[in-house]
């Protein structure tokens, strides 16, 4: 029988500030949570970033303040993932941190996979002996989608074709994925499990755990790698029909948006303007893709200023500024493929088909923009090859995103096209219509136009061309307001600040460790907003953390959130 724990390693120093933080955490957390029960909260530490570990462990302990359970941390990422995607991964550091935050066991999933490949099928985890099943009950299509998504991401290709399927890397990934599915089925079915807290919900080492959790009635908490503390939660009683985690969350987010955000639009209107300004000056996602500085700032304030920039930018490409421009934003083509509803086989297929459609429709100009991080996601140079094939057409331009300032690109976009990109909520906030060829977190919130079939997609593109040429606006005032309220929701209402979890921009440095140490040493846990928000989410089965009680009557919201609101101007 093989232990799932990693073997004992010689202690090594991680820096005095990190060590001090862990010492304080080891004293702090036992005093803040209920005594451990029989149930286990599995916490994913398979990502290399300490900020991710901090978020996952803090949220798990937030649950333990009202639900007696023990933490079991998962370390040891897939070797192909570690060697290809991560720049580093320190098992010892993350194991030490997990223990300090209260983990009773730290299991090396990568080592479990290696042992399983050698025929080992029995492991000890947190005092339980588990035996891996020969097969799992995961639906075949879901399994195939997860394996394919893992392969294209690690191999940095748009799709699995015959050549990709013949590669040794692909065959290794397929073989290991079978054992990931067996391990997660065994963990969640043979050990009483209170929750699975994870940084990712895609790819084999995470996605197969998420699928097992959904199938075996385990709450799955998806913690985000941005902002302060953002997390989505899917509880067993919330699952309706078939569909991935993202598909379920798309529905739940839309329902919550209507009930608790759109309903409060009058009270939130000033906040929406502030969030829109922050987006304009690049103080939030997706701005980090652009690198900061003047290249990332949107400076014009009026239509006349936009038109002056547009005249310069359009003539740079040899275009008439008066002719409508549809801008198609390429995706990181191997990123989280098929994790939500997509109407094309994959992101590469969507982009190629759209390029071919544009080639046959010169009544508008077409601007194709690559993803700023495309080099990390596509080794096939699909974008460059399509540019070479179609770039000679006068009405089509292909350009790297980073070759255009934010001012230039925003002046050119009359209609934004994407599958699930954030441009489909960002551009509508400024009155620019958008079309999605698939689902996203916000796709059902009334912000953009959404195509649920390929037939609808081509129809909507034709309608966009006709409407733009007629001078139609193609977006309603309600869509604009909804887009601005989405910015409030995403950047504020669902982003919970706490000294226990410094903002993501604190980075991985001494100041992060010092800040967390200070919070645990000098700031009382009772009343901490993250812990309050976690209790509210857990007790009510809400789909995400929120800063405050948003089910309250609208007239109470200014006091609850500290809003500057038009509702209070008369007082």
- The answer to whether residue 257 is domain-embedded is no
Q: Residue 202 is inside which H or E element, if any?
A: none
pLDDT reported for residue 567: 60
- 488 and 510 assigned to the same domain: no
Please indicate whether residue 293 or residue 559 has the higher confidence score (pLDDT).
559
Widest pairwise Cα distance in the chain: 74
- 24 and 73 assigned to the same domain: yes
Q: Is 548 exposed, middle or buried (0-12, 13-18, 19+ CB in 10 A)?
A: middle
DSSP 8-state assignment for residue 365: E
pLDDT reported for residue 357: 98
Q: Is 45 exposed, middle or buried (0-12, 13-18, 19+ CB in 10 A)?
A: buried
Tell me phi and psi for residue 397, to 5 degrees: -130, 135
508-547 tens-digit pLDDT:
788 899 999 999 999 988 999 999 999 999 999 999 999 9
Of 504, 447, 41, 520, residue with least CA distance to 276? 447
Separation CA 340–CA 350 (nearest Å)? 14
* Encoded tokens for 133: 């099943």
- 518 and 430 assigned to the same domain: no
- The answer to whether residue 396 is domain-embedded is yes
- 440 and 523 assigned to the same domain: no
SS3 124: strand
Q: Residue 73 is inside which H or E element, if any?
A: strand 70-75
* Encoded tokens for 25: 């955490």
- 376 and 300 assigned to the same domain: yes
Band the pLDDT of 185: cuts 50, 70, 90. very high
* Encoded tokens for 475: 């977006």
Separation CA 309–CA 412 (nearest Å)? 9
DSSP 8-state assignment for residue 396: E
- 321 and 377 assigned to the same domain: yes
Band the pLDDT of 86: cuts 50, 70, 90. confident
The mean pLDDT of 310-331, rounded to a whole number, is: 94
The overall average pLDDT reported for the chain is: 91
Question: Residue 288 pLDDT more than 50?
Answer: no
- 344 and 419 assigned to the same domain: yes
Question: Residue 179 pLDDT more than 50?
Answer: yes
pLDDT reported for residue 273: 84
Band the pLDDT of 401: cuts 50, 70, 90. confident
451-495 tens-digit pLDDT:
999 999 999 999 999 999 999 999 999 999 999 999 999 988 999
Tell me phi and psi for residue 74, to 5 degrees: -105, 120
Contact 410, 399 (CB under 8 A): no
- The answer to whether residue 510 is domain-embedded is yes
- The answer to whether residue 243 is domain-embedded is no
Would strands 70-75 and 103-108 be described as parallel, antiparallel, or unpaired? parallel
**Residue in the block written with tokens 């599915």:** 181
- 437 and 292 assigned to the same domain: yes
pLDDT reported for residue 109: 97
pLDDT reported for residue 7: 33
- The answer to whether residue 322 is domain-embedded is yes
CA distance readout (Å), 349 to 330, 331, 334, 392, 454: 11, 11, 11, 21, 12
- 134 and 283 assigned to the same domain: no
Band the pLDDT of 566: cuts 50, 70, 90. low
Of 284, 201, 199, residue with least CA distance to 489? 284
Q: Is 203 exposed, middle or buried (0-12, 13-18, 19+ CB in 10 A)?
A: buried
The region of weakest confidence among 52-66, 167-181, 287-301 is: 287-301
381-397 tens-digit pLDDT:
999 999 999 999 999 99
- The answer to whether residue 239 is domain-embedded is no
111-157 tens-digit pLDDT:
999 999 999 999 999 999 999 999 999 999 999 999 999 999 999 99
Parent domain of 512: 2-230+502-540
- The answer to whether residue 524 is domain-embedded is yes
pLDDT reported for residue 1: 41
Separation CA 551–CA 179 (nearest Å)? 43
Question: Residue 280 pLDDT more than 70?
Answer: no
Overall domain count for the chain: 2
End-to-end CA distance of the chain: 71
- 395 and 507 assigned to the same domain: no
Of 45, 195, 191, 214, residue with least CA distance to 142? 214
Question: Residue 213 pLDDT more than 70?
Answer: yes
- 329 and 290 assigned to the same domain: yes
Contact 224, 504 (CB under 8 A): no
pLDDT reported for residue 291: 55
Q: For position 413, which CATH number holds?
A: 3.40.50.2000
- 179 and 326 assigned to the same domain: no
DSSP 8-state assignment for residue 544: B
CB atoms within 10 A of CB 122: 13
Cis peptide before 201 (omega within 30 of 0): no
- The answer to whether residue 194 is domain-embedded is yes
Question: Which residues lie across from 398 on neighbouring strands?
Answer: 368
* Percent of the residues in the chain that have a pLDDT greater than 90, as a whole number: 76
């Amino acid at each position: 029988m093989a232990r799932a724990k990693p073997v004992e390693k010689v202690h090594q120093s991680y820096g005095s500030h990190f060590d001090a933080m862990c010492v304080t955490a080891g004293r702090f957390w036992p005093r803040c949570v209920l005594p451990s029960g029989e149930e286990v909260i599995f916490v994913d530490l398979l990502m290399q970033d300490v900020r991710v570990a901090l978020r996952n462990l803090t949220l798990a302990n937030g649950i333990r303040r009202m639900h007696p359970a023990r933490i079991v941390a998962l370390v040891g990422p897939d070797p192909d993932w570690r060697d290809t995607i991560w720049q580093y991964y320190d098992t010892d550091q993350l194991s030490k941190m997990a223990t300090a935050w209260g983990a009773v066991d730290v299991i090396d999933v990568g080592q479990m996979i290696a042992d399983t490949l050698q025929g080992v099928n029995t492991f000890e985890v947190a005092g339980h002996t588990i035996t891996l099943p020969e097969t799992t009950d995961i639906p075949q299509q879901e399994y195939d989608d997860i394996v394919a998504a893992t392969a294209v991401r690690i191999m940095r290709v748009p799709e699995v074709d015959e050549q990709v399927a013949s590669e040794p890397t692909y065959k290794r990934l397929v073989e290991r994925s079978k054992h990931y599915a067996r391990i997660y089925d065994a963990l969640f079915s043979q050990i009483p499990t209170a929750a699975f807290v994870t940084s990712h919900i895609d790819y084999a080492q995470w996605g197969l755990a998420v699928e097992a959790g959904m199938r075996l009635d385990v709450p799955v908490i998806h913690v985000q790698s941005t902002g302060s503390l953002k997390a989505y939660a899917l509880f067993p009683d919330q699952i309706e029909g078939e569909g991935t985690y993202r598909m379920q969350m798309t529905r739940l987010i839309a329902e919550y948006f209507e009930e608790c955000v759109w309903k409060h639009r009058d009270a939130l209107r000033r906040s929406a303007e502030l969030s829109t300004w922050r987006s304009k000056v690049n103080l939030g996602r997706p701005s980090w893709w652009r690198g900061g500085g003047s290249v990332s700032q949107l400076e014009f304030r009026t239509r006349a200023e936009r038109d002056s920039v547009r005249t310069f930018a359009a003539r740079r490409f040899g275009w008439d500024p008066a002719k409508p421009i549809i801008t198609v934003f390429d995706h990181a083509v191997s990123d989280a493929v098929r994790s939500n509803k997509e109407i094309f086989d994959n992101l590469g297929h969507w982009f190629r088909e759209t390029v071919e459609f544009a080639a046959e429709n010169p009544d508008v100009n077409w601007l194709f923009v690559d993803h700023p991080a495309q080099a990390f996601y596509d080794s096939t140079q699909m974008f460059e090859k399509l540019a070479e094939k179609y770039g000679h057409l006068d009405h089509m331009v292909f350009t790297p995103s980073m070759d255009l300032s934010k001012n230039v690109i925003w002046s050119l976009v009359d209609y934004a096209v994407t599958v699930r990109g954030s441009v489909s909520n960002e551009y509508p906030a400024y009155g620019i219509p958008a079309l999605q060829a698939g689902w996203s977190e916000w796709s059902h919130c009334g912000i953009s136009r959404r195509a649920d079939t390929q037939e609808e997609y081509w129809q909507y593109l034709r309608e966009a061309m006709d409407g733009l040429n007629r001078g139609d606006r193609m977006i309603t005032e309600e869509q604009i307001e909804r887009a601005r309220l989405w910015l409030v929701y995403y950047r504020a209402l669902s982003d919970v600040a706490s000294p226990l979890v410094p903002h993501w921009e604190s980075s991985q440095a001494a100041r992060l460790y010092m800040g967390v140490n200070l919070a645990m040493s000098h700031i009382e846990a009772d009343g901490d907003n993250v812990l309050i928000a976690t209790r509210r989410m857990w007790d009510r089965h809400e789909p995400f953390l929120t800063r405050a009680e948003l089910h309250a009557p609208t007239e109470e919201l200014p006091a609850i959130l500290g809003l500057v609101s038009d509702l209070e101007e008369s007082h």
